[in-house]
Each structure stands twice: as structure tokens, then as C-alpha cells.
Structure 1
């Protein structure tokens, strides 16, 4: 099952099983599915590039290439100018792909071999490599992708950009950078995270009229969040509500000279509905940390006994923003870990945890890839090569709920992994993670379960950033720009 309003995502093997169930279980011929794919591609071109004067299709040696040959035949029938270049010898095609080529040539179509140069076109269609890719792209295939990426004409990718790993979103040496991808039967999870988001452009989906019964027999492997799953927080508050009904978030952070990070986390918690918010910080930061934002309280804490009374009143603790890794930092983290309170760990709290790993059920860890690498004794490159495996490893080692940040943020709590569809490169700026930790803390304090709070917070945060970028551009987007937009999103005013 997927989250309410979320879209199911599959591995390449899962989509192959959907394909098999449609053919063997529902009696839909494989070539019928291929023709439907070709028609969906034709419709996409008609909708998105109605005025393109020349279409060039690069066809591979498998079913992805077969889809390309069907498209070429349909374009010829519609009297559109189309050319076809092949990278796999058409004489070696088998099954449905061979029939697609035969039908294309029977209709008067001709294909030429790719020999290092592309035929000039106003639109190129990538039908070279599908989801079955298991090795690094080399030889003529690599050359074709290099030439294609160097052209200014837009590219429509068939099912998946060639060279992209359908499961992980990693690039197999090189991958096509498409302006649009039309994917079939099941959405591939690698399209939405890691390097996948750099390659796909806009992603469209066609189920090729596969019956619902097929999807009922094949479980999804992840889900794509479309909206924040706010549950009861989407309902109006009771008229008799008071601040005690909505939790008390304690933010612990801000080593000497680092007041900004805990301030951002605290303001985000307040803007996202927490009834009370306090910050426990180094005494050097205490004066002025909440200047201009008097709604949250600030306490100077130099010793763990000064933290104890704050912990007694808190319902959720967010620890890590600006915390540092000093002896003072370690002592505060150790004291917080002694409590049974729900926790959100971010930034230096994660770096300290990496030194002394601990497993716990009632916390949410929010690492970016570098922090995830330290938590797992790995490398950032390894994390990014397979973010889903990294998510599973983090949960196995540390428990609780994991938010693996980055392009296509992943959320895992033991159920179906979720990917956030929203977000933009403008979020690559200081303080964004601090804001997210405060949002998570606020939603936890208001009663959402950990996994729900993490999923909803990631969506709210990313969607707020998208609205801010739409209004003023991605470059120069600041974490503080999200504050009023978080409030609007939480109240359904998007």
C-alpha cells in the first residue's frame, strides 16, 4: 500500500513483473503494449512539441528501440518529418521489437546506422537503452549519448533516459539529459532521486491501459509523495484550543558564536504550529538570539543540570542545529539521549552520534549524504550511488525514522520508503536543514506519528521552497524565506 495521495514506484524488476502479469494474466499481447507506448509517445510530441519540423529517433536493440520504431511508423503515417538512427542491428532484433521494425519498414520507413553524428532535428527521441541496463555505458552507445547531450535540441526519453539506473537513480557512466521523459506501466523509483532528477526533465506517465487488477498483484517498492500527509492537522483547530494542546518543542543547539541555526529551527517550529518553543543554547548566544522573534524563549545552558528543567516540560526535542562537536556539545547530547522524549537529530548531533552509534525507536534522524556517510562509515559517493540501500542501512543501524536529504529526499520508517517530489536547487543553501528539523519537531509536538511527521514536514518544506523559487528565482533563496510559506502550506493556502 502507498500513502494516501502518493503514487506507487517500482524497481525495474517490479515493472517487468507488471508487464508479465499484463501479458500472461490479462491476455494483453506484448506488441499491443508496445503499440500503445508508441501512441503515447506520439501524443506527447503532439502536445509538447506540436511545431517541431524534424524528429530524429535513436533506437536501441531491445524493446525500448521497439517503442521507437512504433513511434517512427506513427509519425510517418501522420506525415511528420521523421528519421531513425539505430545503434543495435535491426536484423538481430527479437520478438515484439523485431515486429515493430518490420512494420516500420513495411510502411516505407528507413533506418540508418549511427556512425558518430546525429541527423539534424528539432526534437530527438531517446529510445536506446531501457530499464534493463546493468553495466557502464561504453562504445558507440556512450558516443551517441555524448553527441545527444551536446545538442541544443530537446530530447524526449522513452521510458527512462538511457544510461540511468532505474532502481537507484545513479548514472551508469553517462546518461541522456532529457527535457521530458515518458515512462510506462510503472513509475521507476530511480527517476525521482539522486542523479535521476538531473536526467529526466519533466516526467509523464502512461499505464498503457493496464488493468487495475495487475497493480493489485504487484506491490510497490516505494511511493512518491504529492502532498504533505497532515492527517488530523489538516482539520480546523477546536475553538477552545490553547497553547498547551499543541506541544512544547525544545531546540538544543548553537555552540559559541553559532546562534543562527537554532534560531531558524525554532522559528520554523513556531511557524508550523507548536504551542511553545524554547531554545537551549550557549550563553554567548543567549542575548539576542530571538531578537525580532520574541515568541520563542531562549535559555543559556552551560551545564547539563541547567538543561534538566527544560527537558521536564518539553514534549519534543530537536537537537543539533549549530551544536558543534565540543565537550559542551557532547554533554548536552548525552543528557538529551537519557530522556524518553521523541527526538529529532540533525547536523552535529548526527556527527556526534556517528562516533558513538546508538539504536533507538522514537527518534528521527535527518542526515544529508555526507552525514549519512559518517553514520555508516562509508563515503558520500557510495551513499549517492544507492540511496535506497543507504536508507535501509541507516534504519538497520540506528532505528527510528530516517530522512535522507538531497535531491529526491527519502523517508523511511520501516514501511514503504517515500520520495518527496518537490524541491529545487535553490535549497542548496545554509540553514535549510535547520528549518526542516524545526518543522518536523512542530508536527511531532502536535501529535503526528514519527513517520507521518517526517513525510509531511519534508513535503511542506520542499513545497514552500518551490513557491519561494517561483516568486523570486532559485539563486539567492534563503532558508528564512520559507517561514511565511510554511505557515501557508500548513494551513492549506498554497
Structure 2
């Protein structure tokens, strides 16, 4: 059910083996261009003109062939190249000649050129990019973005790193990216969601998973998992069958975070939810969600008694980093129950417990928390999010969810990417709700990795449902629980 994702070098090897297996390289280029043409036609069926901006390599070759296909379909085609046609070589030169033979004019890019097409095709730079875009290519990318026209990127938006989703200075802002042979992990995380638009994957007849010595770098989650994971309950089920979640958090003045986590855990089907929080928040918790069993704890001694009764402990929401929070986290760490650690729980781990690792916990850092845990900068994390998530998982064990656009889940089974979610989630309390959801799923399922997959996906899908119905702006963390409840009752 999960789509495999690959690094650029792996896809190039798949391409090489496909050609070695008897498919001519130019024929594969024609397949790619044909797929891009169909992708273009399905999204902009009324367009009568297009501009194809071609680079010097095979990505540019795909653009030349697409230009020929457009001309054959009686569209008005503007073909722009950043390298003189006579200097092209190999399949790119053959593709350019095909377009010329089809009657497509070609003009060399220059600073004052006007892009005339209703839709722009980005065929500038492919997946082999290694350094920042400079010179004419940089100005061409900036011109494409400044045109404010719909853009179809071929294989990858020029300027985006296929392995990481980072931007090398500038990148084309596409409305759709049609990508070939193997889907790329960098199209789904980091800065990529702001540049790719809709991703249209076309395998071109290549069965990547048939090459067992080229294992996927990551896997893309799919909402088809939900139906299998949330089958109807047995008619004789009772609350003792559905697990007991203990949320530990809510230092004085920070009670809301722990309450959000509790309510999310209850809505995701946990049989029992308990809360260990500062005594001053008990009244608010009873008003907010009377189903939650709230315990006021003044310090570590009172907190230490509670984890033994729970199937999973969620620690961190509203925890604070003062003495109270340290004592509560220490109580959680002394428990053998699975843990979900978030927020200040992560910050305290970085500062007070730098060497602790467990196999039965889920850590849920955003990039700032991940940077503190790894002793690096946020820029380092965002430059290669897949590597950062895997490094943190190796160092700390268990499962790591690196939050952000294209959240990454690193666990014993490998790396998984969540393709769902929206900018409306950029508001306070979202991480607390995720922690509560994760706790509920671990309590019911008894394991952490698949629960981490489901919880991350559920959280993002609930936000997408909420945004679809009422918009992204003004989306609150407390909105998600009710939408998630609908998703787990298909």
C-alpha cells in the first residue's frame, strides 16, 4: 500500500538498467515526454499555447520532445533553450532535432525574453543538481516564477534537491510536477511542498521494486491504510480492551497543552485517559473533558505512582523545563511502559538526559527540538531532513517523528514520509494533539512504529478535512479531534 521513494542516484541506476535491458535511451525519453504531455493536457485542457524552457541535459531533452508533441497537436509553442542547439549532444541533441523537424522554432534565452505561453514547462535542470543555481539558469528560474503563469515541472522543479527537498538558492514554483521511473523522497519533504504543486508519478513501465538490490530509501504513507487499521470493534469490547493513556504535563500556567493531548487521546478511542498535571489545572480539566481522570501532582513523588497503571505515557505537553517538569519526566522515564515524548520533554532530554535511548518510545521533535537533540543548527536539520530523522533515531532508538511539511517517521523498519497536512497547522497546540493521538493508538495497538505511522497520517488528514470544510486560516488544534474521530470510523 505504500509507494517506494528513491534517491536520485538510485533512479539513475534504474534508468541505466532499463536501457541496458533493451529499451533505447531515446525511447525512454519519448515515454517521459509523452507522460508529461498527458499530464499537461489533463490539467490544462483549454490551453492553446505553452512555453517550454529547456536546459542542456536529458531533462531539457524531455522538454524538446514535449514541444514537438504540442506542435503536432496544433498548439502554439514557444521553445526556449539555455544552450545553443548545436552544442547539445546525445539524446538531448536528438530530441532537439525532433522538435525542429516538427516545425518548432527555438530561441536562445536572454535577459529580456518574454515568455508567451499560457502554461510554462520547466525542463531546465533535473535531479543531478549538486550546487546552487547561478548565472543564466538562476535568472531563468526567477523569470519563470515572475511570469505568474501555471507551471509544469518535468521530473523535479529546477533548483530542488531530489534527495532532501532543500532549495539550492532558487527553485521553480510549479503547479504540478510529473516525475518518472521512481518517485523521489525529496519531492515530499522539506521545502518541496512549496515548489512541487501536485505530484504526478509516472513509472514509464519500469518496475522499480523488481530490482531487489535497489531498496527504497523511504516509503510514502497512503490513506488506504486506514480501512485496514480501523476495522469495526468486536461487539463485546469494553474500556479495558482499549488501553489506558496517561498524559503527564501541564506545569503551572501551561495546562492547556496537556488538556489538548488528553482530549485527542479520548477521541481517538483510548478506553481510559488519565492526566497528571499541576493541581491548579484540575478544575479546568474537569470542565474541559470530564471523562479524563485528573490527578494533581506537586512533584516527582506523587508523579512516580501513576505510570504503573498506564499502557502508554505521553509526557511533555506543557511540561516546562523547571524542577516540576524535570521530576515528572524522570518519573515517566523510570516506567517500563511505552512513551510518547514531545515539547519540553524533548528539550529536557537534550539537556538532562543526552544519552538515554529506548526501543519503546516515540519522539516527536520539530526542527528546533531535533537540532537541540542532535547538537546542531535548525539549518542543518532542514538541509537534509531524511538524514536528520535517521540520525536521531539511531542515537535515541525507538521511533522519531520529525515534524514539519512532509513529516518524516524514522523507525526500525526504515523511513516513512507523510504527504498530508496543510499550512493551517501552523498554530499552537498541534503537536500536543499529535501526542495525544499517538498515545491512544499505542494504547490500543500495543506497538509503537505502526502507531506512529497511523497517528502522523491521522493528524495530518484531520487537518486537511478541517481546512477543506472551513479553510486553513483560523484552524485550531482543538478542531482536529472531531475530524480524526470520523476518519477512524470509516
TM-score, normalised to structure 2, is 0.97
- 2:73 maps to which residue? 78
Equivalences for residues 32-181 of structure 1 within 5 A: 32-116=27-111, 117-181=113-177
1:233 and 1:166 map into 2 onto residues whose CA distance is 31
Specify the SS of the correspondent of 2:132: coil
8 A contact 1:265–1:435 mirrored in 2: yes
Question: What's the CA shift for 1:232?
Answer: 6.8
8 A contact 1:228–1:459 mirrored in 2: no
Moved more, 287-296 or 12-21: 287-296
Encode CA deviations 1:284-334: one digit per residue, 9 max, x unaligned.
Answer: 212222314211111100122212332121110000000000111101111
Is there any run of 5+ residues in structure 2 with no aligned partner, and where? none
1:387 and 1:334 map into 2 onto residues whose CA distance is 29
Question: Quick one: structure 1 residues 177 and 159, their matched pair in 2 at CA, closer, same or farther if it must change by over 3 Å?
Answer: same
Encode CA deviations 1:83-134: one digit per residue, 9 max, x unaligned.
Answer: 1010123222221111111222222222111001233221110000000000
Question: Quick one: structure 1 residues 129 and 259, their matched pair in 2 at CA, closer, same or farther if it must change by over 3 Å?
Answer: same
2:435 and 2:288 map into 1 onto residues whose CA distance is 21
Question: Quick one: structure 1 residues 214 and 84, their matched pair in 2 at CA, closer, same or farther if it must change by over 3 Å?
Answer: farther
Question: What's the CA shift for 1:421?
Answer: 1.0
8 A contact 1:228–1:457 mirrored in 2: no
- 1:403 maps to which residue? 401
- 1:459 maps to which residue? 457
- 2:435 maps to which residue? 437
The counterpart of 1:320, out of the listed 287, 307, 316, is 316
Encode CA deviations 1:432-486: one digit per residue, 9 max, x unaligned.
Answer: 0000000000010012421100000001110000000000000000011111111
Question: Quick one: structure 1 residues 232 and 246, their matched pair in 2 at CA, closer, same or farther if it must change by over 3 Å?
Answer: farther
- 2:370 maps to which residue? 372
Specify the SS of the correspondent of 1:279: strand
The counterpart of 1:477, out of the listed 464, 475, 484, is 475
8 A contact 1:22–1:214 mirrored in 2: no
- 2:300 maps to which residue? 304
1:258 and 1:210 map into 2 onto residues whose CA distance is 53
8 A contact 2:251–2:318 mirrored in 1: yes
Moved more, 286-295 or 325-334: 286-295
8 A contact 2:304–2:328 mirrored in 1: no
Question: Quick one: structure 1 residues 290 and 381, their matched pair in 2 at CA, closer, same or farther if it must change by over 3 Å?
Answer: farther
After superposition, the CA RMSD in angstroms is 1.4
8 A contact 1:21–1:214 mirrored in 2: no
Encode CA deviations 1:190-236: one digit per residue, 9 max, x unaligned.
Answer: 11101011000111011112246755553211011012745874222
1:334 and 1:293 map into 2 onto residues whose CA distance is 27
* 2:225 is the alignment partner of 1:235: no
* 2:183 is the alignment partner of 1:197: no
8 A contact 1:229–1:455 mirrored in 2: no
Moved more, 393-402 or 317-326: 393-402
Equivalences, count: 487
Specify the SS of the correspondent of 2:285: coil
- 1:219 maps to which residue? 215
Equivalences for residues 215-364 of structure 1 within 5 A: 215-216=211-212, 218-227=214-223, 229=225, 233-355=229-351, 356-357=353-354, 358-364=356-362
